[in-house]
Structure 1
Amino acid sequence: MFKKRKTANIRQRRVSEEDVTGEGDIIGVITTDDSNSNTVPAVKKEKKKVKKEADAKKQSVLSFEDELEADDGIIFQEKKSSLSYKLRKEMKKERKEKRREEKEKQRQAEGKDKKNKNGGPTVSELDELGIRIVNGREAENIAIQPGDSDDSEDGATPGHHKFRPRGNKSGQSLDPWKKILQSGQIPDANMIHAIRKKRQQAREQGDMIPIDDTVRVEEGKSRLVRDDDNDRSDDEEGQSRMDFSVNQQARDRQQRREAFDAAQERGSDISDHESDWEKQQLLKAGANAKVAGGCEGEGSQDGTVEVISSAMQYSSLDSGVALGMTGGTDQLLWGTESTIPTSAASLPRPANYEAEGIIKRLQDSRTSLEEVFRRHQAEADGVDGELAECKATTERCTHDQQPLTSIFQFYQDIRGYVTDLRDCLNEKVPEINSLEEQVYVLFRQRAQKMVQRRRQDVRDQNDEFSPFAGKGAASDEYRTRRAAEREGRRTRRRREREKRGDSGHHDGMSTDDEESHSEIQMVQTELEHAIVEARKVFEDVEEDFSQLKRIVAWLEEWRARDLPTYSDAYVSYNLPKIFSPYIRLQMLLWNPLIKDSDSNGSGSNGVEVERMQWFNLLLLYGSSGGDEPKQLKEDPDRNLMSNLIERVVLIKLKDIVGCWWDPLSHSQTVRLVNLVRHYAETYPTLSPSSKPLQNLTHAIIAKIKDAIDNDIFIPMFPKNVYDNRNSGVSLFFQRQFWVAWKLLSSTLMWHKVLSDSVIHDLAIRSLLNLYLLPALNLAAEINPSDALDKCRNVINSLPRAWVKSEGTHVFLGRLEDFLVKLAEKLDPAANTPALRDLCNLLKSIGANTQAEKISNKYL
């Protein structure tokens, strides 16, 4: 409603105890009587005088202009103790409380005897109703609120009441609205609207509306004068003084403005309950008056209106100013001497009370009630449906609670079990690795001992039969002992072959892997110690974590209960890793390359792995016995055994190849080839892209290359040294040739397991062309028939696919040339069968043209 002043930046001055005491004495002179309005200037002058006397004692050291007086500045005071400050603060608070209590008692005493001239309630009763009567200085201050201006004295607008003006001692004519405010009346909404309309009309007519009250600013004694606080000219700026003291009057006006706004909001926010109650009271009064005067007919309507009017006046007297605040036209203002009643004719005429009107209203009411009833009925039906649905949901949830609770409990158990199993395996796997490494060390030592002995025998024989060797070599005691042991082993192997009736054997085809009884016993003791240590690995673990069948039972239960979550958890991908430690522990001494071995239930070939306990246990994992082919195809564990062979057995087999396999051993090579071929053909995951299978083939190729580089040696002495076929040099030559042939045949066994390019490089280029063909040429110079026999064995060792292929002679070109030269060295008359055999050999390697030429020439 009022224009809010801009807050000026005021630097407050520190007030000493003497100033506080002086101001308290001056304030105590002011009273609240209505007749003391003229004493305000005197008090202000006295206050001003005392303030000047107090300020004269203190000089300022800081000024904002050259002509500022001594009281404009910062006051420096001696710092006092906190105790004295607290005492002064308490004393000041007590004085304020005492003055407040005295004023309250005085105001209550005056209000008890003071009655309203029109018979209204007392001041104490108004206080209880929350209505405050303003008078004296407060009423005058309301009249000088910022934004108010003196309107013309044309009187109130039509529909508003006029009040008798109270004596104005200043001789100035005040605005009627200011008189109302001075009298202490709180304006209602109509009055506020009228004031706004009046000011709006003044602006439209061009009348001057004073913006500020310069007298108020002069009396405020403000040290800082701003343009928006006082409309003084620029010429007076030099003569004005900036006042930084607190403007107590402005603060009071701000508080009264806030109180006025709150009263206005309270007047406009009366609840509907009070308004309805007032209307009901009026209707009751009118109904009673109508019943009392019903016998007079239509003429009784005037009397009814008068009764309603009197009831309204009585109600307005009982409710004080509350009725006026609700927007009614009856005005009753406390603190004034005039009350203008509202005319009864301004009330609206009652509705049609004839039969038709009553019936119509009843019908409308019935229609409205029926519509409400239908709406409520629809809502009730909807609520009933929701209630039934909620009951069904509750029953369903109750029914599903037990299985869900069971499943949840199972998941908690399986989670804890898997966590404990992981921790257990993390602790036990290093122990299993250590045991496997101990077994591999025993295997490696035993195999290396055999290989080193064989290579040392070849060096000893070469030094013995070589014409370039020194004579002192034969007198070596250790060499002599090795030669004796070597000959003894050969004699025992020869006797064994004679017992078996093996007549097609050549010296050098057998493997020198004989061991002494003491050595075998020592190795066996070490292996038994490893078995004992393996049994202790899970000795301190419960059965749920130490036995493979208990782990399988847990996982099968999970699979049977909820297969989707079993698949989503990728259990199938982790099963080989979970089962691997237990399988490796059972296969700790497994070595398929050892003949007639029986370590930990394992056999001599790959089929024996499929007879182990773990294999039979996991073979039917997850199968119910009645699964259809479609279900088996979608089974996430359908490749379990294939994955176990790939990730467990092949890795172990690769380690065994590296530490035990001897490529010169025909029996070991046959077992290894059959084992790898069986796995590759049986299990679908063993494809050429399988990483464990690739590592295994790389280990096999590395062992073959090592044997070619270190074990193949064919002595190439002058021709005359081999004249005697029974001499040591001839026997040594024959033995080393058949050793190379044995390695060639072992390498060619890997056909269709290793790639053809690898086989060509190892067998043809490295063995046949570099070692065997030079030896065959030397044998052809010594004995052509023996060379033909050796060549027949070489060609028979070739894979049948190569023999039947038309392009075989391309990479066997050097062997073809050797056969052609050998035919020239054979005597046609004495060696006719040999020539026929030679032609057949040429045809077997695809050299049909050369075979026809030889046949036409010599046969």
Structure 2
Amino acid sequence: MQKLRDFVSVICDFLQHKAPFIEELEEQMQKLHEERAAAILERRAADNDDEMMEVEAAVNAAMSVLSRGGGSASMIEAATTAAQAAFAATREQRNLPVKLDEFGRDMNLQKRMDVERRAEARRHRKARSDSKRLSYMENDSSHQRIEGESSTDESDSESASYQSNRDMLLQTAEQIFSDAAEEYAQLSVVKERFERWKKHYSSSYNDAYMSLSIPAIFSPYVRLELLKWDPLHEDADFDNMKWHMLLYNYGIEDASKINPDDADANLIPQLVEKVAVPILHHEIAYCWDILSTRETMNAISATTLVFNYVPASSKAIGELVTVLRDRLDDAVTNLTVPTWSTLVMKAVPNAARIAAYRFGMSVRLMRNVCLWNKILALPVLEKLALDELLSGKVLPHLRSIQSNVHDAVTRTERIIASLSGVWAGPSVRGECSPKLRPLVEYLLILGKTLEKKHVLGVTETETSRLARRLKKMLVELNEYDQARAISRTFNLKEAL
């Protein structure tokens, strides 16, 4: 028994000595993840600022002309001229002149180079995005993604730099226990030592309240292994991790006869709550790119994973859900979707493309919000997705382009696709949510617009094709009566 007491004393001192080194590695890994995320977000913000600064000036100039009334060709031409002049003036202002300091160095050179570098990077990412979108359309022509709906923000150089730094940290982590004997350095050996104590001297083990100390003793080994866990960029299960495999049946001789009073049976959930949940909390709070569907799906997978171990009543879980809601709320609040009219977009170069891109971002965000439907309560999702995003940001944009029925139908399809599985699609039963009424009413307005075109003799093939798409969207929203009305109006023979 004295040997056991000595072992506990030594290993506690040993782990206490190593604690600052492990904490330093954790902080460095957190910083590395934050820098990776910040690089993407900062570049996205800079790109938005670069483009919006030029376009907004041109839009304001065009709107000033168009506000005098009329949408004649001459008025649009005048608006275009004003927009081009404003665009050129803004670009000239941003073309920083040479400004020399006392040593003859150009103080604005770096800024000009940064602007040009961002412009070149945007062209490169746009080409990649177009390629991805075309590939997607070839594979699934029924759901054509629009610009801005897919993310291509992370550059190859950033990925390589991150990976190199991460590898260095993990190599350092492998050396943390290298100066210790195997009985202290290897989790498997430490675990066996305590298991033998519990098995052969259970009374002594219980009298020493080892079940209370065991999580703290095993925690440093788990923390070192979880340095590899990158929950936003991989879909990993604890089952496949060494610490989980070693400790899953800790102190249990017969898995079919677990003593409900054995506190060690709760070891894995305790470690997940104390070690894994804080890691995930930090990732969601400071590193999660909400516009990345891949990161969002991985975050959902990781959140579901920890939910399988830790009860919802846990303070750590409550804080995790709170930060998740705060991040989503901020993302919706900070999103801007232009509501420029079709006349303005016709007059202003690049305005239509930027408006489409911003709308695509809103689709991406709505889809990512809806992906949390198994974790967040429905009222929370309704507030975020339907009240704030759909009604507050998306529908005003759709109304601004409704005269262009083809674009309006295409973009509305993408919105309904993003709602699929929560408020739209074959898996949804019952009446349409009252908060979707504005969207349904918008579809009916598009139907009326199409009907007028149909009466005026616009190509029947084109109007019928758009009408079928409208009907399909109404069916997706469980608005069967309205879908039948569309079928009758346009003489569509297909079944709903």
Is residue 751–residue 799 contact of structure 1 (8 Å, CA) maintained in 2? no
Please state how far the C-alpha of 1:833 moved relative to its aligned partner: 4.1
Give the distance between the partners of 1:485 and 1:558, measured in 2 at CA: 61
SS of residue in 2 equivalent to 1:587: helix
- The match for 1:558 is 197
**2:282 counterpart of 1:655:** yes
- The match for 2:337 is 714
One-letter code aligned to 1:795: I
Give the distance between the partners of 1:506 and 1:661, measured in 2 at CA: 23
Is residue 423–residue 432 contact of structure 2 (8 Å, CA) maintained in 1? yes
Alignment partner of 1:465 out of 51, 55, 79: 55
Alignment partner of 2:122 out of 472, 486, 495: 486
Give the distance between the partners of 2:185 and 2:31, measured in 1 at CA: 26
- The match for 2:102 is none
Change (3 A) 1:574 1:780: farther
Is residue 809–residue 816 contact of structure 1 (8 Å, CA) maintained in 2? no
Is residue 291–residue 368 contact of structure 2 (8 Å, CA) maintained in 1? yes
**2:201 counterpart of 1:580:** no
**2:480 counterpart of 1:844:** no
Q: Tell me the TM-score normalized by structure 2.
A: 0.79
Unmatched segments (≥5 aa) in structure 2: 61-85, 96-111, 455-459, 492-496
**2:270 counterpart of 1:643:** yes
Is residue 129–residue 151 contact of structure 2 (8 Å, CA) maintained in 1? no
SS of residue in 2 equivalent to 1:812: helix
**2:454 counterpart of 1:832:** no
Counterparts of residues 189-268 of structure 1 (less than 5 Å): none
**2:243 counterpart of 1:614:** yes
Seq. identity, %: 28
Deviations 1:219-264 (A, max 9, x none): xxxxxxxxxxxxxxxxxxxxxxxxxxxxxxxxxxxxxxxxxxxxxx
Change (3 A) 1:815 1:520: closer
**2:303 counterpart of 1:676:** yes
One-letter code aligned to 1:692: A
Alignment partner of 1:771 out of 393, 410, 433: 393
Change (3 A) 1:527 1:580: same
Unmatched segments (≥5 aa) in structure 1: 1-409, 595-603
Is residue 474–residue 480 contact of structure 1 (8 Å, CA) maintained in 2? no
One-letter code aligned to 1:796: A
One-letter code aligned to 1:612: M
**2:4 counterpart of 1:414:** yes
Give the distance between the partners of 1:493 and 1:835, measured in 2 at CA: 29
* Higher RCO (CA < 8 A, seq sep 6+): 2
Give the distance between the partners of 1:530 and 1:730, measured in 2 at CA: 46
Deviations 1:684-727 (A, max 9, x none): x42221222222222322322232233x22222243123389x5
Counterparts of residues 66-105 of structure 1 (less than 5 Å): none
**2:369 counterpart of 1:747:** yes
Alignment partner of 1:730 out of 335, 340, 352: 352
Change (3 A) 1:565 1:664: same
SS of residue in 1 equivalent to 2:374: coil
Please state how far the C-alpha of 1:423 moved relative to its aligned partner: 2.4
Deviations 1:591-629 (A, max 9, x none): 1323xxxxxxxxx2122x3222222221232233xx263
Change (3 A) 1:821 1:567: farther
Please state how far the C-alpha of 1:495 moved relative to its aligned partner: 3.7
Give the distance between the partners of 2:488 and 2:284, measured in 1 at CA: 51
Give the distance between the partners of 1:799 and 1:642, measured in 2 at CA: 34
Is residue 567–residue 636 contact of structure 1 (8 Å, CA) maintained in 2? no
Is residue 744–residue 767 contact of structure 1 (8 Å, CA) maintained in 2? yes
Please state how far the C-alpha of 1:424 moved relative to its aligned partner: 2.4
Give the distance between the partners of 1:631 and 1:809, measured in 2 at CA: 47
One-letter code aligned to 1:673: I
Give the distance between the partners of 2:468 and 2:170, measured in 1 at CA: 60
Counterparts of residues 385-400 of structure 1 (less than 5 Å): none
SS of residue in 2 equivalent to 1:629: coil
Is residue 544–residue 550 contact of structure 1 (8 Å, CA) maintained in 2? yes
Change (3 A) 1:857 1:492: closer
Give the distance between the partners of 1:484 and 1:453, measured in 2 at CA: 12
Is residue 664–residue 742 contact of structure 1 (8 Å, CA) maintained in 2? yes
Change (3 A) 1:650 1:822: same
Please state how far the C-alpha of 1:775 moved relative to its aligned partner: 1.1
* CA RMSD across the alignment: 2.7
Q: Based on CA coordinates, which of the two structures has the bigger radius of gyration?
A: 1
One-letter code aligned to 1:473: T
Alignment partner of 1:440 out of 30, 36, 40: 30
Give the distance between the partners of 2:159 and 2:373, measured in 1 at CA: 34
Is residue 622–residue 637 contact of structure 1 (8 Å, CA) maintained in 2? yes
- The match for 1:664 is 291
Give the distance between the partners of 1:798 and 1:641, measured in 2 at CA: 36
Alignment partner of 1:806 out of 425, 430, 451: 430
One-letter code aligned to 1:758: V
Q: Tell me the TM-score normalized by structure 1.
A: 0.47
Deviations 1:69-89 (A, max 9, x none): xxxxxxxxxxxxxxxxxxxxx
Change (3 A) 1:570 1:606: farther
Please state how far the C-alpha of 1:569 moved relative to its aligned partner: 4.1
Is residue 273–residue 316 contact of structure 2 (8 Å, CA) maintained in 1? yes
One-letter code aligned to 1:802: W
Give the distance between the partners of 1:718 and 1:628, measured in 2 at CA: 67
Please state how far the C-alpha of 1:590 moved relative to its aligned partner: 2.3
Please state how far the C-alpha of 1:735 moved relative to its aligned partner: 1.0
Give the distance between the partners of 1:588 and 1:426, measured in 2 at CA: 19
Change (3 A) 1:616 1:822: same
Please state how far the C-alpha of 1:848 moved relative to its aligned partner: 4.4
- The match for 1:328 is none
Please state how far the C-alpha of 1:742 moved relative to its aligned partner: 0.4
Please state how far the C-alpha of 1:457 moved relative to its aligned partner: 1.0
SS of residue in 2 equivalent to 1:763: helix
- The match for 1:121 is none
- The match for 1:537 is 176
- The match for 2:91 is 474
